[in-house]
Structure 1
Amino acid sequence: MGDLWGQISMQQDAAAAATNPAGTNFQQLLASVGHPPIKADIEALMSRCRLAESFLTGTPKEEVTKFVALAEAHIIRATNFVMHNHPLPVHAEFLRRAARRSQRKSRMKVFTTNYDRCYEEAGRQGRYVVVDGFSHTVPPTFDAIHFSYETVRRLGDTESFDPIPNCFHLYKLHGSVDWQRQEPSGEITKWTAGGKPVLIYPRNSKYELAFEQPYLEMIGAFQTAVREPDTGLLVVGFGFNDNHLAEPIMSAIRSNLSMKIVVVSPSLSPWDNGGASGPGECASNKYLRQLQSLAAAGDARITLLNCGFEEMVPFVPDLAAETDLERHVARLRNIGVA
C-alpha cells in the first residue's frame, strides 16, 4: 500500500501539471477531502474521496471523481503484472507441496484478496486444473456451481472414476484484474474487453461490497471452509485489517476446536530496519494480538510464523512424491518446449 501511495501521488501531480490551467495536485486533493498528509494510507484516502463525492459540488467534486478514476486505473495496472510464463517459482513450489493430495482428501482451497493472476499462472505452468468458478467456455463465465463439480479421470471403458491429483480451488475474494462485468446481462466473464472491472478497491466500503455477487459466493465459501471439522487454515500476508474476513476466522477459532491455523507475516514481531521501526502487527492489530495471547496461553491450534511467503514455503511438508507428469513437464520446460 505504501508503494501505491507514492505512485498514485506522482500520477496525480503529473496529471495536474499537464492541464492548462493546472489542475488539482495531490496535496491540494488531500486538503479538499480532509485527509492528513502524514497518513500515507491509500485505503483511508479512497474512503475519504468517496465520502467527499457525496457532499462536494462543482469543480472540487469533479477533481475528486477524476482522482478516484485515476487511482483505480493505476491499481489495476499495478496488479496486472503476471504475463505468460512469468517466473513464479515460490507459488509453483507451494502448489507442488500443498495442492497435490490423495484421493481421500478434499481439494485444497486457496482464498486470496489479491487481484493478480499469480496462482492462475503458476497453476497453468504446473499443469493443474484451477477451479475458480468460471465455465470452460469462450468467454469463461462465472457461476458458483462450478465449485461443486469434480474433475476425474475415467479408467478405460469401465465405470470407475479417479479424481485427478493436480487440482485446487481458487477463490478471489476481492475480484481479479481479468474479470469484467458485462452489461446489461450482469454476467461476469474473463479475458474480455468492454466490461466493468470486477474488483473491490481499497476503501472502507469493502464490507458492504462483499455482499454483492460474485464476492458473496466467495465469502460464503470461506466461512463454510473455516467451520469444517479437522480443517487447517494457512494465512499468509493477510494483516487482519479486513473485518469481513478477520471476524469469520476469529469466530471459527472460538467454535471449531478441530481447526488449526498458521499465520505467516514478516512483521508479526517488533521490527527495526535501521531507518524505521515498529511494534509489530501482534501489538498493533487487535485480532493478531488475540491470536498471540491464545497461543501464549497454550492453544496448540495456533501457530504464528514471523517470516515471508518465500521463507515459509520450504516448511510446508512435501508429502506427495513427484509424479511422472510433473517430471515430464519439468524436462520440457528446461529445454524450452513446454
Structure 2
Amino acid sequence: MENDRLRIRTNQTSRHWAEVDIAAEDETGGIGADETARHLSQAVRSANLVVLSGLGTSLCVKRGDDRLAPTMWQLLQRVKEAFARLDAIEPMHDRRSRWSTFTAASNVAEEEENLEHVLSRAKLATELATEPVRLLQERLLAVAEEVIRETVDFLAPDVSLHTHANFLRRIARRPARKARVRIYTTNYDRCFEAAAGREGFIVVDGFAFGSEPQFNPDQFNYDVVRRDTEERTDYVENLFHLLKLHGSIDWELDEGSGKVIKREGTRKPLLVYPRSTKYEMAFSQPYVDMMAAFQASLRTPATTLVVIGFGFNDKHIAEPIMAAVRSNLSFNLVVVDPTLEVRCRADGGANPYLQSFARLVDDGDGRIALVEGTFEDIVPLIPDVVSQTEIERHYERMRNIAPNAQDRR
C-alpha cells in the first residue's frame, strides 16, 4: 500500500476495497473517502467510544529514521543476539550454542521464527524437564525475558510522540454528557501516558494518587471535577481512561504486600510475556479487572470500538469482540490495520476473526468498517469535533517558549 493512500471496505463498497486518497478533498475522494469520514465521525460522536490499541500504534515512534518499537521478529533476533553474546563470553560445555540448546530442549526447530511459540514451549520445558535441563531452561528463559523488558522500554524525553498526541486531541476531548474515552492497549510501553503528559491530558489508569501509586480498580469508577468559588462543579476537560491489558514497564508487584505499584525504572516489571500461557495470566490480578472492564465496555449499548494495530491473534481479547458483534446490535466496529486485505482472505494465512468481519461486511452489516492503513494514516482523518480548550492553548504557548520545543513533541 502506498504511504499516501489507504483503503476501506464496508457494506457500501460493493464487496471491494475502496481507495481513499488522503490528499484529496472530501468531495473528490469518492466512496472510499465518504465511508471513511462517515465511520470515523460516527465513532467520535458515539455515546461510548472505546479504543483497542496494539503494536501498530507504537511502530510510528522513531528517533530520526530509526523505528524504536520492536516487532516480534526483531525481539526474536535480539534474544538470539543476547544468547550469542553469552556464548562468546562463556561457551557451553558441549560447545553447542545456547540458542540451539534452548530450542532443542523446548522441542522446536532451531530455525523457528515464532517467538511466542518458542517461549511457550520453553516455559513448558521448565515444568516437565529433568533438573539439569530445567535449571538451564529457566536461566535462558530469564535472559529472553530480560531482553524483551529492555527492548520495549524505548521511550525517552527527546522522542517525538506527535501522532499519539494528535490522536488524543481528536478522541479524548469529549463533551461532559458523553462517557470518557477508554483506551485499552496490549502494549507495554508508556507512549500514551507520555503523550498525555506533554499535552496536558489527565490519565485515569487504575492507580491511586500518591507518592507510590497502588493499583485499585475502583479508580475507573471515579472522575475529576472542578469546583469554583460559588460551589458549582463541572467535569475537567481532556481526561481519558487507559487500561493496559498485558501490563506495563512501570508496574511492579510488591511481594510483601501483594499489591501492584507503579515504579518508574523498575527491573521487575509486571508483564504478560508473549507465550501461550498469557491467556491464563490475563485472568490473574491485576489483569482480570481490566479484562472485566473491557468485556463490560463491549456490552454497553451505543458503543463504538476502534481497533488500531491489533492483529486479533490473542483469543482472550478477540473472542469478547466477536461476542459483541454477535449480540450487541448497537455495537459498531472500526478495524484499522495495514495488512487487512491479506488477513481477510479465505486462505491458510488469514485470521479467522478478520475473515468473519469481512463476510459480515459483504453480507450487508453496516456496523463494521475495515480500514487498511496505519496509525499515522488514520489519525489525521479523525474529525476534531471539539474546539481547543484553554488548557491546551496554555500548554501550546508554554511549548513554544521552551528550548527545543519541537524536538520533544
TM-score range, shorter chain: over 0.9
**Which digits, 9 at most, give the CA deviation of each residue in 1:99-124, with x for residues without a partner?**
00001110000000000000100110
- After superposition, the Cα gap between the structure-2 partners of 1:128 and 1:194, relative to the gap in structure 1 and judged at 3 Å, is closer
- RMSD of aligned Cα (Å): 2.0
For residues 114-193 of structure 1, the aligned pairs below 5 Å read: 114-158=187-231, 160-191=232-263
Offset at residue 43 of structure 1 (A): 0.6
Question: For the Cα contact (< 8 Å) 2:207–2:213, is it kept in 1?
Answer: yes
C-alpha separation in 2, matches of 1:281 and 1:128: 44
Residue 64 of structure 1 aligns with which residue? Answer: 137
Q: Report the residue type matching 1:223 in the other structure.
A: Q
CA 1:60–1:280: 2 relative to 1, 3 Å: farther
The answer on whether the counterparts of 2:250 and 2:266 sit within 8 Å (CA) in structure 1 is: no
For 1:80, give the aligned amino acid.
Answer: D
Residues 268, 281 of structure 1: 8 Å contact kept = no
Following the alignment from structure 2 to structure 1, what is the Cα–Cα distance between the partners of residues 274 and 367? 31
> Distance between the aligned counterparts of 1:281 and 1:320, measured in 2?
43
Deviation, 1:284, is 1.2
Taking structure 2 as the reference length, the TM-score comes to: 0.77
- TM-aligned CA deviation for residue 58 of structure 1: 3.5
User: Shift in Å at residue 42 of structure 1?
Assistant: 0.7
Q: 1:94 aligns with which of 161, 167, 171?
A: 167
CA contact (8 A) 1:267 1:306 kept: yes
Instruction: Give how far 1:196 is off.
Output: 4.1
Q: TM-score, normalised by structure 1?
A: 0.93
Alignment-mate amino acid for residue 178 of structure 2: K
Q: Read off the aligned partner of 1:235 and give its amino acid letter.
A: V
Alpha-carbon distance in 1 for matches of 2:255, 2:139: 23
Question: 2:363: which partner in 1?
Answer: 297
The alignment status of 1:325 with 2:397, answered yes or no, reads: no
Rounded to whole Å, the distance in 1 between the matches of 2:348 and 2:228 is 51
> Partner amino acid for 2:73?
G
Q: 1:73 aligns with which of 142, 146, 166?
A: 146
Aligned length: 331
1:307 aligns with 2:373: yes
1:201 aligns to 2:273 (yes or no): yes
Mean alpha-carbon deviation: is it higher for 297-306 or for 33-42? 33-42
Corresponding residue for residue 46 of structure 2: none
Q: Matches of residues 233-252 of structure 1 in structure 2 within 5 Å?
A: 233-252=305-324
Give distance in 2, aligned partners of 1:155 and 1:281: 61
Distance in 2 between residues matched to 1:281 and 1:172, nearest whole Å: 32
Inter-partner Cα distance in structure 2 for 1:130 and 1:29: 41
Aligned partner of 2:220: which letter?
A: F
Any conservation in 1 of the 2:303–2:331 contact (CA below 8 Å)? yes
Show CA shifts across 1:212-270 (max 9, x none): 11100000000000111111100011111111100000000001111111001111113
Identity %: 41
> Could you tell me which residue of structure 2 aligns to residue 15 of structure 1?
86
Q: Distance in 2 between matches of 1:105 and 1:283?
A: 40
Q: Find the aligned partners of 2:122 and 2:267 in 1 and give their Cα distance.
A: 24
Q: Structure 1 pair 177/320, CA: closer, same or farther in 2 (3 Å)?
A: same
Q: Is the 8 A contact 1:133 1:144 kept in 2?
A: yes
Q: Distance in 2 between matches of 1:228 and 1:194?
A: 36
Q: Which residue of 2 aligns with 1:274?
A: none
Matched residues in 1 for 2:347 and 2:172: separation?
29
2:338 is aligned to 266
Aligned AA for 2:304? G
The letter for the 2-side match of 1:292 is A
Q: Deviations over 1:117-170 (max 9, x none)?
A: 001001101111100000110101110111111101112232x21111110000
In 2: Cα distance, 1:173 partner to 1:183 partner: 21
Report which structure shows greater RCO (CA 8 Å, sep ≥6): 2
Contact 1:141-1:187 at 8 Å conserved across structures: yes
Structure 1 residues 326 and 280: CA distance shift in structure 2, 3 A:
farther
Note if contact 2:99-2:110 (Cα within 8 Å) is conserved in structure 1. no
Partners of 2:192 and 2:113 in 1: how far apart? 29
Provide the C-alpha distance between the structure 2 equivalents of 1:14 and 1:209, rounded to a whole number of angstroms: 31
**Hey, what's the Cα distance between the residues in 2 that align with 1:189 and 1:85?**
26
Alignment CA distance shift 1:281-1:202 (3 Å): farther
2:68 matched to 1:2?
no
Q: Unpaired runs of 5+ in structure 2?
A: 1-71
CA distance in 2, matches of 1:287, 1:39: 25
Unaligned runs of 5+ in 1: 272-277
Is the CA contact (8 Å cut-off) linking 2:102 and 2:122 kept in structure 1?
no
CA 190–85 in structure 1, closer or farther in 2 if over 3 Å, else same: farther
* Deviation of the 1:46 alpha carbon: 0.6
In the alignment, the residues of structure 2 paired with residue 252 and residue 196 of structure 1 have an alpha-carbon distance, to the nearest angstrom, of: 35
SS in 1 for 2:165: helix
